[in-house]
Amino acid sequence: MGKPKTPPDRAGTDDPAGGDRDPARLLQRYRKAKDRRALWEAHWQECYDYALPLRDAVINQPTPGEKKGDRLFDGTAADAVDQLAASLLSELTPPWAQWFGLAAGPDVDAAERDTIAAGLDTVAAVLQSHFDRSNFAVEMHQCYLDVVTGGTASLLLEEARPGEPSAFRFTAVPLAQVVLEEGAEGRLDVSFRRTELTLAAIEARFPGAEIPDSLARRGAEDPDARFAIVEAVVPVRRGHGYHYAAVLEDEDNDQAVLAEGRFGDTPFINFRWLKAPGEVYGRSPVMKALPDIKTANKVVELVLKNATIAVTGIWQADDDGVLNPANIKLVPGTIIPKAVGSAGLQPLQAPGRFDTSQLVLDDLRARIRHALLADKLGQPDAPRMTATEVLERSTEMARLLGATYGRLQSELLTPLVRRAIAILRRRGEIPELLVDGRLIDLQYKSPLAQSQSQRDAKNLMTWLGALAQLGPSGMQSIDAAAAARWLGRAFNVPAEVMIPASPLVALDPALLAQADAMLSHLDPAQMQQLALGIGTLIGHGGNPPAQPATRMPAQPATQMPAQPATQMPAQPAGGGGHV
């Protein structure tokens, strides 16, 4: 294929976005993408009806204060969705905890790593402080509910106004408002959001926008009137970045642009639970468990109907011309007349069996909880767990959420941190730095991300324990300072509390000549003891070691040199010239 031609209406211009800046084309592209999304809407609505009824407005606009959950008879799925969303929040992005960090990349020299580590820790602390002071935890939890229920979620990260506690303002965009397209690299980097705002809300959100006269007139006549606005974020065609435009979707003013600009990183962070080949939107665990959820809901409905019959009963009577069912009231003390020879009012035996329905319901609920990981990620039954049990539980969580965590890290966590860094860098609160994976690398320190580091640390401690059983000769192969720094990085210890690695001590030639003269007068036992002491000292960067210096050289000095001193010279002296 040849090089794509420049659109006719943008020919000869330097606009990197090309025709995507035209409001008519943006609205046309949005409507086509919305038509493709229509196949998902009924499926989403069903998932929300059964698993998240409080956020079920996918097809129709919600009415404030309306009753929700009228079709829901069994709450197993709703409880499991809440537990899974809470587990994702605590395991991926725990509130008021450092869940990410910055470190020197592989292209940085080893001598400079320790120098810049403290500065990167300070930048990460500033980022985390802004996350903690914002509404991140609230909106992120709502996004986790969306991704567990609908399979796709969208988080909007905007820069807050000056003077607010945090530089970040987050919004969990409902699936009813967002329309997405997948780019060539498989990312959801084309975002459309349709909202309906009043005239006052439009002026507050887009200050300085040119409001059409007809819209201003209708807004003045009816302050509660709402107007549809489509916000579009589209990658530029040449270069890097995203073009932003807010277009008024109105019959009279269909091409009015309220705001436009350019972002280095997209403010819409769209992510999915899992993705089927050829599909744009994601699939959720609720979709997988939806047949069991619907069946359990129907079984509970039938059980409740049968329970009503069992409580109130069904009665039968002979039509003897005396008993009038319309005049009978089943209350204590009631006297019911009947004809002579008639059986009177008799209860009818209910045909339903509660034991069978309960067995079916227990099996359905167990499968629902298993599909939504409630049986694995929920609170353990044992109130107190050993360290090994905690580690095994973390390993199990990493195994269950491994594939999903990889997608969430790529589509949610990395774009989120990059967008936050761009905002603070533009405000001048952090220095100019580029997280490219080569000079500066992004590291995740959430509990789920640390499960692998904990296993690596456990393997190192097992190896150290095995070497300790070999005695001093085994411990000599360990660089204690390097092992301590490695464990510190594995356990997310701040760089400021760790001593940087020191280079080897350079010896003075004059001192070497003086030492050579002294060594000529030492016996073999003293030579070996001195060699071990110098090797240990140099291995610790010139600093005298704590325990190895007093223990490790002591045993060779009393055992290994003792045998040659008492046996080998004795044989030639008493053997008459034997060598």
* pLDDT tops 80 at residue 187: yes
Task: Tell me if 308 sits within 8 A of 350, measured CB to CB.
Answer: no
Could you tell me if residue 59 is inside a domain? no
- Tell me, what's the pLDDT at 382? 55
Give the confidence band of 576 by pLDDT, cuts at 50, 70, 90: very low
Read off the pLDDT of each residue in 99-121 and give the average, rounded to a whole number. Answer: 83
Which of 264-268, 286-290, 308-312, 459-463 bottoms out in mean pLDDT, i.e. has the lowest?
A: 308-312
Q: What is the pLDDT of residues 334-375, one digit of tens each?
A: 777 777 777 777 777 766 666 778 888 999 999 999 999 887
- Tell me, what's the pLDDT at 350? 67
Could you tell me if residue 474 is inside a domain? no
Give the confidence band of 514 by pLDDT, cuts at 50, 70, 90: low
Could you tell me if residue 531 is inside a domain? yes
Which of 67-71, 142-146, 367-371, 386-390 bottoms out in mean pLDDT, i.e. has the lowest?
A: 386-390
Could you tell me if residue 68 is inside a domain? no
Could you tell me if residue 417 is inside a domain? no
Cβ count near 525 (within 10 Å): 16
- Tell me, what's the pLDDT at 513? 54
Q: Tokens representing 11?
A: 């020919």
- What is the overall mean pLDDT for the chain? 78
| Helix, strand, or coil (residue 564) | helix
Could you tell me if residue 372 is inside a domain? no
| Number of domains into which the chain is organized | 3
| Helix, strand, or coil (residue 128) | helix
State which of 265, 281, 303 marks the end of a domain.
265
Alpha helices for 151-212 (secondary structure H): 199-205
- Tell me, what's the pLDDT at 304? 86
State whether 258 and 321 are in the same domain. no
* pLDDT tops 50 at residue 405: yes
Contacts of 251 (CB under 8 A, 6+ apart): none
CA dihedral over 135, 267, 256, 181, signed as positive or negative = negative
* pLDDT tops 90 at residue 330: no
Could you tell me if residue 415 is inside a domain? no
Read off the pLDDT of each residue in 267-294 and give the average, rounded to a whole number. Answer: 95
> How far is Cα 268 from Cα 139, in angstroms, rounded to an integer?
13
Contacts of 200 (CB under 8 A, 6+ apart): 219, 223
Spell out the SS3 assignment of 509-523: HHHHHHHHHHHCCCC
State whether 321 and 260 are in the same domain. no
- Tell me, what's the pLDDT at 113? 78
Give the confidence band of 523 by pLDDT, cuts at 50, 70, 90: low
Which of 102-111, 218-227, 503-512 bottoms out in mean pLDDT, i.e. has the lowest?
A: 503-512
* pLDDT tops 90 at residue 24: no
Would you list the DSSP string of 202-270? HHHHSTT----HHHHHHHHH-TT-EEEEEEEEEE-SSSS-EEEEEEEE-SSSTTEEEEEEEESS-SEEE
Could you tell me if residue 43 is inside a domain? no
Q: What is the pLDDT of residues 188-217, one digit of tens each?
A: 999 999 999 999 999 999 988 888 888 899
State whether 194 and 261 are in the same domain. yes
- Tell me, what's the pLDDT at 148? 96
Q: What is the pLDDT of residues 222-247, one digit of tens each?
A: 999 999 999 999 999 887 899 999 99
- Tell me, what's the pLDDT at 147? 96
To the question of pTM greater than 0.85 for the whole model, the response is: no
Q: Tokens representing 45?
A: 């609505």
Give the confidence band of 469 by pLDDT, cuts at 50, 70, 90: confident
* pLDDT tops 60 at residue 400: yes
- Tell me, what's the pLDDT at 366? 94
Q: What percent of the chain has pLDDT over 90?
A: 39
Would you list the DSSP string of 362-429? HHHHHHHHHHTTHHHHS--S-SS--HHHHHHHHHHHHHHSHHHHHHHIIIIIHHHHHHHHHHHHHHTS
Domain carrying residue 341: 315-347
State which of 224, 250, 265 marks the end of a domain.
265
Burial class (CB in 10 A: 0-12, 13-18, 19+), 544: exposed
